[in-house]
Amino acid sequence: MTDLKTDQQKDHKTSRDTDSSPGELAVGRDEWARNYWIQSRGPLASLMFILPFLAVYEFGVLRLGPNAVRNGVDVWLRQLLDWMGFGQYFLLPLLTIGILLVWQYTSRKPWRVSRGVLCGMAVESLLLAVCLRMILHIQDVFSQTFSSQDMTAAISANISSTFGNLVMFLGAGIYEELLFRLILLSATIWAMHHFGMKQKASVFAAVVLTSMLFSAAHYIGAQGEPLQLFSFSFRFIAGVFFCVLFVYRGFGIAAGTHAAYDIIVGIF
């Protein structure tokens, strides 16, 4: 009789241990959210997330050949490397990967990223791109000087195919974020803080300055667009938007959101 009672107590304890209460499930969700927030901001997650975009862009440009339209920042960076004596085709994407790997090594963070984090980054980037598209719509409603359809036409004027669109927009997401956020924004914040400016003030000033440069870059060079107040001001706002994403959500989310926004506006 005693043995039977003991067995029943054990079964009751086992059942209680295996059944998760609502509170435990909530704690589990909170823990996953915290882990996602931390992991998705890291350089390794950013690298794993952008690798497919980088591969599609680089091999897509090779596949399209003379019909390919390269991202302007990609062209500038390659010209700079060529001027320095480094003209190898795959050097720029390898440098992009190398920068993120060095960042990961110096951060001393774990060298693992779960598949769920990468899927979450894709969903988050898409939602943030929709938010930026809504900002464009709101600005368009208030200004009524340059419609979003005109802006889409300007972006897609020199591209003849959907695949060509996709390739160029993926390149814009990666290389524009690489130059304006990962390199210029980080370097400007460091320089301003190093020369005596307070941390918050240096971040604010760097965001404004690099966002101005980001917007102005779209009107420079052979493929530059005619200067328009609407498009310049929107791209400045978009630059601030991407800066905030880079500071708080990391390079991968900023690049993914940038590429997703361009695809939404330029293709869909």
Q: Are residues 52 and 32 in the same domain?
A: no
Number of domains in the chain: 2
Q: Are residues 146 and 200 in the same domain?
A: yes
Q: Are residues 130 and 231 in the same domain?
A: yes
**Tens of pLDDT, residues 35-55:** 899 899 999 999 999 999 999
Q: Are residues 80 and 65 in the same domain?
A: yes
Q: Are residues 89 and 20 in the same domain?
A: no
Q: Are residues 6 and 74 in the same domain?
A: no
Q: For the full predicted model, state whether its pTM sits above 0.85.
A: no
Q: Are residues 115 and 88 in the same domain?
A: yes
Instruction: Report whether pLDDT(153) > 90.
Output: no
Structural contact between residues 155 and 266, judged by C-beta atoms closer than 8 angstroms: yes
Q: Are residues 124 and 202 in the same domain?
A: yes
Looking at residue 107, its amino acid is S
Q: How far apart are CA 99 and CA 156, in angstroms?
A: 31
Percent of the chain with pLDDT over 90: 50
**Tens of pLDDT, residues 221-241:** 766 778 888 889 999 999 999
Q: Are residues 147 and 251 in the same domain?
A: yes
Q: Are residues 34 and 62 in the same domain?
A: no
Q: Are residues 18 and 109 in the same domain?
A: no
Tokens standing for 67?
């019909």
Q: Which residues contact 49 (CB under 8 A, 6 or more apart)?
A: 118, 121, 122, 252, 255, 256
Q: Are residues 22 and 128 in the same domain?
A: no
Looking at residue 99, its amino acid is I
Q: How confident is the model at residue 72 (pLDDT cuts 50, 70, 90)?
A: confident
Query: For residue 250, is it left (φ>0), alpha (ψ between -120 and 50) or beta?
Result: left
Looking at residue 100, its amino acid is L
* Structural domain span for residue 126: 43-266
SS3 54: helix
Taking residues 53-72, report their average pLDDT: 85
Q: How confident is the model at residue 64 (pLDDT cuts 50, 70, 90)?
A: confident
Q: How far apart are CA 257 and CA 51, in angstroms?
A: 15
pLDDT top residue among 187 and 166: 187
